[in-house]
Amino acid sequence: MGIGKRGNQVNVMNFGLTKKYREPKAHVHIPYCENKSMTGTAWYASINTHLALGYVMLYFCRGSLPWQGLKAATTKQKYDRIMEKKMNTPTEILCHGIPDEFAMK
């Protein structure tokens, strides 16, 4: 939460984007790498940042998201399963039980 004049402001951080920047034993900077796979947390990832924020808010209200805990043989398969679950979960199911204050009117 913000403080002072910004006491009504909520600050959200996605710690899924954090990573070590120094090698733990030698304490030297880990070099930048290119051509890596997805950056971020697959639970909240979307092509629309506002949709991702909506997922975070739903997570706060529900305590979980339908695509959490999905298993797959590879990381790519897991990401594919998460995307499929996101695409196929109706809004009515995703938002079931959410307080009326979040309703689109």
Domain count, the chain: 1
What tens digit of pLDDT does each residue of 2-40 get?
Answer: 889 988 888 877 777 777 778 889 989 888 777 777 666
64 lies in a domain? Answer: yes
2 lies in a domain? Answer: no
19 lies in a domain? Answer: no
90 lies in a domain? Answer: yes
* CB-CB contact of 59 with 69 (8 Å): no
- Domain membership of residue 96 as a residue range: 40-105
| DSSP assignment of 14-45 | -GGG----B-TTT-PBPPP--S----S-TTT-
| DSSP assignment of 72-97 | -SSHHHHHHHHHHHHHHS-HHHHTTT
pTM of this structure: 0.56
Distance from first CA to last CA of the chain, Å, rounded?
27
- pLDDT at residue 46 greater than cutoff 60: no
pLDDT for residue 59 = 92
